[in-house]
A and B are shown apart, each in its own frame.
Chain A
Amino acid sequence: MAGQSRKDQLHFTIQHVADVSTSRRAGMQMAINMGFAQADATKIAVVISELARNILIYARTGTIIVKEHRGLNGKRGIKIIADDNGPGIPFLDKALTEGYTTSGGLGLGLSGSKRLMDEFYIHSEVGKGTNVTAVKWLNK
């Protein structure tokens, strides 16, 4: 369900498939409101969708935060933060390789999402959880 949301920040608890569509829709709208072109807003929505699904599949529950982001040099962008306390990703390098999946998916989730964003960081510890932080800049 959508949690508390400030005007410049969306916060979602991901625990049901419905949360996937809620979060990606809201994220897409935020991107459009910020001035992203339709194509980039679509990419942002897909990345939110992939990250939310990953949370559901691997960790069952977690959070997604979508917010405006400003770089040190003043660039504007949108930032997605996905957090869970799930099992973690045992082979991170592999997980970022196209085609790798442990859940019968197409295995494009992480590697593909990385391509759709400008910045993409994964921090994962086995047994503790996974944090993905991704940024797309508004004007490159």
Chain B
Amino acid sequence: MDSPGSTQKLENLLLVAVPRDLMDDEVIELRREILQAIRRHGSQVVLLDFSRVDICDSFFGRFIYTTSKMVELMGAKVIISGLQDVVIETMVELGMTLPGVDAVLDLDDALALSRSLSRQYNHLNETAPTGGDIADEE
């Protein structure tokens, strides 16, 4: 499963390598892949890794925004990482600051975040066992 992007499970984290040129039809496919993987693995954090992307236009912005909304609906959270400095500079000047989307510096930080979130989640489960049920249905 490596087209268009490749997803990989790492603890509670779902690692998604966003392809360099993301096209409209691929977005739909990639998003479906992400949602299925969340369900399959019970991932709580989806890390979109942008280190391969060197041109990030508003279409990417929309992709990140809608993906994060959909992922939220499934009780998980999207974080991004790996944006190159020149890409960030361009995004910010374009006015595309992705409000509400968290970024982390690297995979270590992503893992730390996902661990702290899953501690909160476990804590939540202990006190309210019916909350946030994302059991595997397959």
Q: When the two chains form their complex, are residues B65 and A112 in contact, meaning their CB atoms are under 8 A apart?
A: no
CA distance A112 to B23 in the complex (A): 21
**B interface residue count range (under 10 / 10 to 19 / 20 to 34 / 35 or more):** 20 to 34
| Cα(A60)–Cα(B85), bound, Å | 33
Given A17-B23, A106-B61, A108-B61, CB of A98 within 8 Å of CB of B56: no
Which of B21, B55, B65 is the one whose CB lies under 8 Å from A42?
B55
Q: Is A39 an interface residue (CB 8 A)?
A: yes
Main secondary structure of the interface of A (DSSP, over half): helix
Residues of B75-104 contacting chain A, CB below 8 A = 85-87, 89-90, 93-96
Q: Please pick, from A20, A39, A113, the residue contacting B89 in the complex, using a CB distance under 8 A.
A: A39
Q: Out of A18, A38, A39, A109, which one reaches B58, CB within 8 Å?
A: A109
Q: Is the CB of B89 within 8 A of A108?
A: no
Least CB distance from B75 to A in Å reads 25
Secondary structure of the B contact surface, majority rule = helix
Residue B109, interface by CB 8 Å? no
- With A21-B21, A50-B58 given, is the CB distance from A42 to B87 under 8 Å? yes
Question: Do residues A113 and B94 form an inter-chain contact, with CB atoms below 8 A?
Answer: yes
Mask, B16-40, CB within 8 Å of A = 1, is 0000010111000000000000000
**Is the CB of B57 closer than 8 A to any CB of chain A?**
yes
Give, as a whole number of angstroms, the nearest-CB distance from A105 to chain B: 6
Assembly CA distance A49 to B58 (angstroms): 9
B66 nearest in chain A by CB position: A104
In the assembled complex, the Cα of A111 lies from the Cα of B93 at a distance in Å of 10
* Contacting pair A112 B94 (CB below 8 A): yes
Q: How many Å from the CB of B41 to the closest CB on chain A?
A: 30
Query: What are 15 A-B pairs with beta-carbon distances under 8 A?
Result: A28-B54, A39-B85, A39-B86, A42-B90, A105-B58, A105-B59, A105-B62, A106-B58, A106-B61, A106-B65, A106-B96, A108-B95, A112-B94, A112-B95, A116-B93
Chain B residues with a Cβ under 8 A of chain A: 21, 23-25, 54-59, 61-62, 65, 85-87, 89-90, 93-96
The 8 A-B residue pairs with the shortest CB-CB distance in the complex, in nearest-first order: A112-B94, A49-B57, A21-B21, A39-B86, A45-B55, A42-B86, A108-B58, A112-B95
